[in-house]
Amino acid sequence: MAGRGWACGSRGVGLGWPFVLPVLLLALLVGCGGRSATDSVRADVQRVLDRRAAAVLAHDADAYAATGERAGYARLRAVPLAAWSYRVTAVHRAGDTATADAELSYRIEEHDRAPVTVSRTVRLSRDADGRWTVLSEQPAQKAGGQLWDQGTVAVVRGAHSLVLGVGQSGARLRTFADLADRAVPAVSRAWGTDWARHVVLLVPKSLDGMAALLGSPASSYRGIAAVTTGETSGADRTPADRVIVNPDAYGVLGPVGQQVVLTHETTHVATRAHTNAATPLWLSEGYADWVGYRGTGRTPKQAAPDLESAVTRGEVPGELPADGDFGFAGDADRLARAYEGGWLACRMIAEQWGEERLEAFYRAVEEHGKRDGAVEGAMRGVLGTTVTDFTAEWRQYLRDQLA
């Protein structure tokens, strides 16, 4: 505190305090800059991880190996990194071993506006000279993994894309780059150019690898060809999205299906800054599907077979799809109908109000900031209709297109 010269004050000790003196001395030692053993170990571990991070950025394999476990460097050395750092948040020591909780922050060069931050668990040991070295590093419990946790990362660059893969041939990774390079201009033609106009794809070896990246059970993504991760804050410094591919499901798609999926996911990357809590999933997923199918020539009956079957049976949905209908772990038919219903809602807006109004509607919903009243206000302000009237028109549109 300003004006107090006794940050660690002392007081005279007379002969009448023979038993107080040891206690006071201990207090003075601790209060005057003494540091606990835990704090000392934490600082030592932080220094080791700082050196490790510097070695990653300098592409210095020897310096990396000097900090302990060396295989990690080989797995991630091909990844073009602009930043890589650790922040130790806790250390749990047991003799000459320790486990550190740390936050790893990194940026991929030319792709990430802000760092991606993930939780990691680092195991270390101390040698006879008191130096700590890294034994292993892995995702923290319940945290998603990183691609290099699964093996050596191969990198393929496209004109508008960066593809990172594990267990995939260079030729196959190139096909993903080509698909993404076609998707980016297609999205820009529909949405505009006020986005990064590049995409990062992660291609693990299998469905299990995809699930590990997402920190979820593999059963949640069986049959899902790709997922886009990212924050829906709308902030300018939100880290770049990652399109994570399920190679098992993706491999069974035909050429058009593969392109539709990549264009759909790329649309999520483009619209992320204008997607927030106000945006219902029928709009965000429906719009992504609308861009994905745009120009393919696919008819509603071809692209919405599950909803077609329901409408043919006379089971026309009474309401627009709810967010809960889009759960990956639920009923697969329900999920398919939700995507198809959202797509046809956006397709109807584009046909009846125009493509520019569809984009304006999407942005107007986001600008509301919260769910209550967002769709209602955007429908009044942009489309000149109400949710009730829109839903009635959508239900009739389903009958006209699918029956």
Residue range 265-320, pLDDT digits in tens? 999 999 999 999 999 999 999 999 999 999 999 999 999 999 999 999 999 999 99
pLDDT mean over 212-241: 77
pLDDT mean over 184-188: 98
Each residue's pLDDT tens digit, 117-127: 999 999 999 99
Nearest to 291 by CA among 268, 307, 274, 320: 268
Each residue's pLDDT tens digit, 168-183: 999 999 999 999 999 9
pTM: 0.86
Predicted pLDDT of residue 232: 47
Vertex 359: Cα angle to 354 and 362 (nearest 5): 125
Each residue's pLDDT tens digit, 73-111: 999 999 999 999 999 999 999 999 999 999 999 999 999
pLDDT mean over 233-241: 56
pLDDT mean over 3-26: 37
Predicted pLDDT of residue 234: 45
CATH of domain 37-143: 3.10.450.50
Helix (H, G, I), strand (E, B) or coil at 372: coil
Burial of 20 (0-12, 13-18, 19+ CB in 10 A): exposed
Predicted confidence (pLDDT) at residue 54 exceeds the cutoff of 80: yes
- Average pLDDT score, the chain: 89
Helix (H, G, I), strand (E, B) or coil at 107: strand
User: How far apart, in Å, are the Cα atoms of 4 and each of 7, 9, 24, 32?
Assistant: 7, 10, 20, 15
Nearest to 134 by CA among 86, 76, 194: 86
Tell me the residue type at 225. A
Helix (H, G, I), strand (E, B) or coil at 345: helix
Burial of 1 (0-12, 13-18, 19+ CB in 10 A): exposed
Predicted pLDDT of residue 4: 33
- For the ranges 39-53, 145-159, 291-305, 317-331, the lowest mean pLDDT is seen at 317-331
Predicted pLDDT of residue 49: 98
Domain 144-270: CATH class, spelled out:
alpha beta
Q: Do the Cβ atoms of 7 and 33 come closer than 8 Å?
A: no
Each residue's pLDDT tens digit, 242-251: 999 999 999 9
* Confidence grade of residue 220 (pLDDT, cut at 50, 70, 90): confident
Question: In the chain, where are the structural domains located?
Answer: 37-143, 144-270, 275-403
Nearest to 336 by CA among 346, 344, 326: 326
- For the ranges 36-40, 216-220, 321-325, the lowest mean pLDDT is seen at 36-40
Predicted confidence (pLDDT) at residue 14 exceeds the cutoff of 60: no
Q: What radius of gyration do the chain's Cα atoms show?
A: 28
